[in-house]
Homo-oligomer: A and B are copies of this chain.
Amino acid sequence: MNKLTGLFLLSGSSPSDTNIHYLSGFTAPDPFLFLKTNSASYLVVSAMEKGRAENQSHSKTHVFTPSELGLSRKNSGKVINQIIALIKKSKIRYVQIPSDFPAGIFQALTKMGVNISIHKKSVCPERSIKTQAEISLIRVSQHATATAMKAAMELIRSARIDREQRLRIGKEFLTSEKVRRLIHKTLIDHDCAGIETIVAGGDQATDPHERGHGQLYAGQAIILDIFPRHEKSGYWGDMTRTICRGPAAPELKKLYNAVKAAQSAALRTVRPGLCADDVHSAAKTEFERRGYETTEIDGRHVGFIHGTGHGVGLDIHEHPRVGTSGETLEVGNVITVEPGLYYPGLGGVRIEDTIVVTAKGWRYLASCEKKFEWL
């Protein structure tokens, strides 16, 4: 990027939202414009947001309202007008936009003769290498996650089993919804928000995107996947445990032990300089060695049907991907390691931790017991 080039980002879509948060320090509920040149950054926000934008944004960020850019009240809300005004103000000649920039604005600017091109590379590749300050913030979120996990496990463990194998607390039935509520309330006590938390038992857990609903039973594998965002910092945590209240069938215990072994095998490989695909392969190999097949049965994918992990930061899913994308691990990466096995009729098991890659290998960002069967 030479000094005549500026990169425009508009909030309101992923991943631009978190890139703007990362680059400017500012976030807002309504869309706003951000411009980065190689000497300065600019924010265009409504008059109402100006004070907050100035307080929250990094130094070297110039905050303008539409009227300060010379726009009349009538035209002030139109992003295209804001961009044209900001091109003049910042004296740039070449405009770049990320791939997720709205096509409608791209087309309009092109028609107006603006020198515009799509920035093909990642806007903030540096985001995958976390600073010490960022690692501390993710650790805070991950500690909240572990605390909520422990509360949920304790609730399930404390349940009694009725004659129909249903879990109950006192006289009330224990449902996925009740466990989820406890998790979310615990997260709130730690300034975190959980939205799509998974509490899924039995066959529900074999669909990795099913959040879980209804009665929980003894003898089922229950997946607890908690991934909250810290309300102030915006950084996420991510952790999964699978537990069973009451005795588990031998087949299910074997399944759990395979996932635990695969996670250990994957974790053992983690070190800077390694291709992240090798972490995924380690988990895969462990499953294959134990005879767990990944295939399609009656149109449903079963076995180890997802990647081993992903980066965690201001987005819950970010770089590096731990799967088959060929990215290289570096010191300061924060990633999840979360192999899983899913077989309808038997159950689903996933174990996930969020770790930081260090010069010597890796470290957990928070710890939480891994024990399956609670008799």
Residues of B close to A207: CB separation below 8 A: 48, 51-52
- CB pair B104–A98 under 8 Å, yes or no, is yes
Q: Does A274 interact with chain B (Cβ within 8 Å)?
A: no
Contacting B at CB under 8 A, from A85-122, are 97-107, 118, 120
Residues of B close to A231: CB separation below 8 A: 195
Q: Does A152 interact with chain B (Cβ within 8 Å)?
A: no
Contacting B at CB under 8 A, from A49-65, are 49-52
The docked-state distance in angstroms from the alpha carbon of A210 to that of B30 is: 13
Contacting B at CB under 8 A, from A330-353, are none
Name the contact of A181 in the complex, choosing from B12, B51, B188 (C-beta under 8 A): B188
- Looking at A163-171, A245-253, A298-306, A358-366, the stretch in contact with chain B turns out to be A298-306
Name the contact of A13 in the complex, choosing from B13, B181, B300, B305 (C-beta under 8 A): B13
In the complex, what's the smallest C-beta–C-beta distance from A299 to chain B, in angstroms?
8
Interface centre among A51, A181, A305 (most CB of B within 10 A): A51
Residues of B close to A185: CB separation below 8 A: 185, 188
Residues of B close to A316: CB separation below 8 A: 29
Name the contact of A101 in the complex, choosing from B52, B102, B184, B188 (C-beta under 8 A): B102
Number of residues of chain A lying within 8 A (CB) of chain B: 49
Residues of B close to A208: CB separation below 8 A: 48
- CB pair B14–A12 under 8 Å, yes or no, is yes
Q: Does A40 interact with chain B (Cβ within 8 Å)?
A: no
Residues of B close to A105: CB separation below 8 A: 99, 103
Name the contact of A106 in the complex, choosing from B28, B50, B103, B191 (C-beta under 8 A): B103
In the complex, what's the smallest C-beta–C-beta distance from A114 to chain B, in angstroms?
13
Name the contact of A51 in the complex, choosing from B30, B300, B317 (C-beta under 8 A): B300
Name the contact of A104 in the complex, choosing from B99, B193, B300 (C-beta under 8 A): B99
Q: Does A189 interact with chain B (Cβ within 8 Å)?
A: yes
- CB pair A209–B100 under 8 Å, yes or no, is no
Residues of B close to A107: CB separation below 8 A: 106, 118
Complex: chain B residue closest to A67, CB-CB: B296
Residues of B close to A52: CB separation below 8 A: 207, 209-210
Residues of B close to A124: CB separation below 8 A: none
Complex: chain B residue closest to A194, CB-CB: B193
Contact pattern, A 1-26, Cβ under 8 Å of B = 1, otherwise 0: 00000000000111000000000000
Q: Does A278 interact with chain B (Cβ within 8 Å)?
A: no
Interface centre among A28, A48, A49, A207 (most CB of B within 10 A): A48
Q: Which 5 A-B pairs have the closest CB atoms?
A: A99-B104, A13-B13, A103-B106, A101-B103, A47-B301
6 A-B Cβ contacts within 8 A?
Answer: A13-B102, A30-B317, A49-B209, A100-B103, A177-B191, A188-B188
Chain A contacts to B: CB under 8 angstroms: 12-14, 28-31, 47-52, 97-107, 118, 120, 177, 181, 184-185, 188-189, 191, 193, 195-196, 207-210, 231, 296, 299-301, 305-306, 316-317
- 17 more CB-based (< 8 A) A-B contacts, given A101-B102, A181-B189: A12-B13, A13-B14, A48-B208, A48-B301, A51-B300, A52-B209, A97-B103, A99-B102, A101-B103, A102-B103, A103-B103, A104-B118, A106-B107, A181-B188, A185-B188, A188-B188, A193-B193
